[in-house]
Structure 1
Amino acid sequence: MTKSNLEETPMINRRLFTAAMVASLPLAGTFGAPALATDELRDITFVQPSPSAINSFPVFVAIGEGFFEEEGLNVTVEAINGSGAVLQALSAGQAHFGRPGPGPLIAARARGVDAVHIYNVAARSNFGIAVQEGSDIQDVEGLRGKVIGTGTADGAEVGFARNVMTGAGMTAGEDYEFLTVGDGGPATAAFLNGEIDAYSASTADTAILNQRGMAVRDITPAEFGRFFGNGIATMGETIRNDRELVEAWSRAFARGHAFALDDANREAVLAHLAAGNPQEGEDKEFQSALFDAVRSKTIPTDDAEHLGWYPGAVWAEWQDALVAGGELPGPLEDLDAAWTNEFAEIGAAAVN
């Protein structure tokens, strides 16, 4: 993510879903406005780095089940392109909450963007480096001198792949190359045309490639499974000046997450996701399989204290990888300011 990317105003290109059960009031110009009366809903914008409702399933479930409404919030979801654009929207005041990756968020903070992760959604790594099923490449060492495709130029999948390759002693631009090819169909075409030898993909991306007939397999070393993926972020100013909003969001989001993890609610969950993205809901079998794959990555690790909990040690490992890969000139002055567990704890209390 370059400095110019952070300074540009993003074009939000697709409105996915709006929970508008009753008439609502417009935002008061800043995100630090006081909460509205309990019989009114406050308009809130959430930005996600892809159009998939499944990738942000707790949000759509919390909307559909009325959890946000119970907190006085009317949430609109906007899809934009990648974590870099999510952070741009947050820093430009165009959204209250977003779902960027940890690598882009750390890099953004190094450039003065006061974004903070408040909920660990992808508690288990939801990224991997995949090659075609019939490829001779068996491990990441086989990618030396090769081209790795990515969905976006500055998304979380780039930071993850750079992290993996750095661990193997390789540097981008010297030992391998990145090529932005997009996801879905464009990624399939890039494989077929020989433009890329591997693809840094999310769990959802890999499932889509396989579903479209491009059989791929993951060659990511097992030890990188501890690197959590995209999580919920907001601006530090919002936390300081509008704490009640962040707490309300956190309670509703955690309830949506917990509801979706209960198999007894499966039918309702899939219906909410189809409402959020009708295209994903057209093929029920594929929707169900993709939801299972994405949901599995959000189940907390054994050492987690509750849903949404962040391990501080892995934040340090993320930062070390960014420094080693040349994405950061050096460690942040205060890495702990990039994340907090306090709001996930509030959410966990609402679930329990």
Structure 2
Amino acid sequence: MKQTKWTLLMLCGLLIAALTACGQSDGKANKAAGNEAASSGKEPSKSMQDVKIVLDWSPNTNHTGLYVAKEQGFYEEEGLNVDILLPGSGGADAMVASGEVPFGISYQEGVTQGRTQGVPLVSIAAVIQHNTSGFAAPVDRGIKTPKDYEGKTYGGWGSPVEEAILKSIMDQTGADVGKVKFVNMGEADYFTAVKRDIDFAWIFYAWTGIEAELRGEPLDMQYVKDYTDKLDYYTPVIVTNEKTAANDPELVKAFMRATSKGYEYAIEHPEEAADILLKAVPDLDKELVLASQKWLSPKYQDDAARWGEQKREVWQNYSDWMHERGLIEKELDTDKAFTNEFLPE
């Protein structure tokens, strides 16, 4: 039963992760990634080690560093022939935890939920240092603060985390989450849903927010991290499983050396990095990718000493918040949930 519960929660979390690509209703990016368009064109030597990393969702600018590391030959320099895959029906977390693949893209919520139920995931890098998600509404809805959520309709995916976060930030402004109407958005993207039957939704600004700017549809946005430090959690993260970390640490270090170079390149060269992502996934919208990459590149490392660095207090704060609200049944063993030991110095 515990495993079933974790899987259901993980799938809800994957739906939240889908917000990074909710502006893409046609699924073309999935097709492009499935065709492995990210190939560098270089022939791996016979001594190369085949390695797979599975994404959390459709390719987008959260993932640029991976495509850069592949295209620029950083993985090849480490003796790795890396395939970037889309998640299977069980999701990225399940694929990594089972050992089907050694690496994946996840999020702090999923790792926390999984580990408290015995799932052996370990976060080895924060892709972005601070939470760029929040609740967004078209400006004509007059939603300037969480107090304004009262009497409005929220479009979500039925995850218990959604209502818990809304309640958490509304409580701070003396607002009542009970006065919010919750509806399931289904397969509709944000832009369709706000024109149809909702007033606001949870988005990642780096993708959907930037798309709104390009569409000329301005948003009012409340970032969840601005209301409490406990909600400034890592999303997304790169994960491995305990067995890989313990039995093949040199593989993990090599993979992270190359991946770090990929994200560092994207930080320093956002336009060139955007071109690499577009080359890998040509059906993505060029204008959106470039604008998103320029916005997101400085946020990969932000105020951290190095890209990928994770702080214990971030893991502790969010897991405490989840436990206080009954989203996890027991406290997280924080020191086993993440590590910085595989990041290059």
Which band: TM-score by shorter chain?
A: 0.7 to 0.9
Show the counterpart of 2:192.
189
Of residues 205, 216, 220 in structure 2, which corresponds to 1:217?
A: 220
Show the counterpart of 1:59.
66
For residues 317-328 of structure 1, what are the structure 2 equivalents within 5 Å?
317-328=317-328
Show the counterpart of 1:341.
340
Larger proportion of helix: 2
Q: What RMSD over aligned residues (CA atoms) do the two structures have, in Å?
A: 3.2
- 1:210 Cα deviation after fit: 3.7
- Assess if the C-alpha contact under 8 Å between 1:17 and 1:77 holds in 2: no
- SS of the aligned residue for 2:274 comes to helix
- 1:224 Cα deviation after fit: 4.8
Match for 2:193: what amino acid?
Answer: A
**Cα deviation code 1:7-52 (max 9, x no counterpart):** 99x9x9852445365566xxxxxxxxxxxxx852222221112212
Show the counterpart of 1:49.
56
For residues 149-160 of structure 1, what are the structure 2 equivalents within 5 Å?
149-150=155-156, 159=161
For residues 306-317 of structure 1, what are the structure 2 equivalents within 5 Å?
306-317=306-317
From the superposition, tell whether residues 230 and 220 of structure 1 become closer, same or farther in structure 2 (CA, over 3 Å).
Answer: same
- 1:200 Cα deviation after fit: 0.7
Count of matched residue positions in the alignment of Structure 1 and Structure 2: 317
Show the counterpart of 1:228.
234
Alpha-carbon distance in 2 for matches of 1:209, 1:337: 39
From the superposition, tell whether residues 180 and 75 of structure 1 become closer, same or farther in structure 2 (CA, over 3 Å).
Answer: farther
- 1:242 Cα deviation after fit: 1.4
Alpha-carbon distance in 2 for matches of 1:69, 1:223: 43
Match for 1:44: what amino acid?
Answer: V
Moved more, 160-169 or 120-129: 160-169
- Assess if the C-alpha contact under 8 Å between 1:161 and 1:200 holds in 2: no
- 1:91 Cα deviation after fit: 2.0
Alpha-carbon distance in 1 for matches of 2:75, 2:272: 16
Unpaired runs of 5+ residues, structure 2, are 15-29
Alpha-carbon distance in 1 for matches of 2:85, 2:223: 31
For residues 264-343 of structure 1, what are the structure 2 equivalents within 5 Å?
265-280=269-284, 282-283=285-286, 285-301=287-303, 304-332=304-332, 334-343=333-342
From the superposition, tell whether residues 96 and 17 of structure 1 become closer, same or farther in structure 2 (CA, over 3 Å).
Answer: farther
- 1:268 Cα deviation after fit: 3.3
- Assess if the C-alpha contact under 8 Å between 1:61 and 1:272 holds in 2: yes
- Assess if the C-alpha contact under 8 Å between 1:126 and 1:228 holds in 2: no
Show the counterpart of 1:95.
101
Show the counterpart of 1:29.
none
Match for 2:317: what amino acid?
Answer: E
1:80 and 2:83 matched:
no
Moved more, 197-206 or 63-72: 197-206
Identity, % of aligned positions: 22
Moved more, 319-328 or 140-149: 140-149
- Assess if the C-alpha contact under 8 Å between 1:47 and 1:98 holds in 2: yes
Match for 1:273: what amino acid?
Answer: L
Of residues 246, 249, 259 in structure 2, which corresponds to 1:240?
A: 246
Match for 2:109: what amino acid?
Answer: G
Match for 1:103: what amino acid?
Answer: E
- SS of the aligned residue for 2:49 comes to strand
- 1:259 Cα deviation after fit: 1.4
- 1:208 Cα deviation after fit: 2.3
- SS of the aligned residue for 1:310 comes to coil
Alpha-carbon distance in 1 for matches of 2:307, 2:329: 33
Unpaired runs of 5+ residues, structure 1, are 25-37
- Assess if the C-alpha contact under 8 Å between 1:119 and 1:233 holds in 2: yes
Alpha-carbon distance in 2 for matches of 1:174, 1:127: 22
- SS of the aligned residue for 2:123 comes to strand
- SS of the aligned residue for 1:328 comes to coil
Match for 1:338: what amino acid?
Answer: A
- SS of the aligned residue for 1:149 comes to strand
Higher relative contact order, chain-length normalized (CA < 8 Å, sep 6+):
2
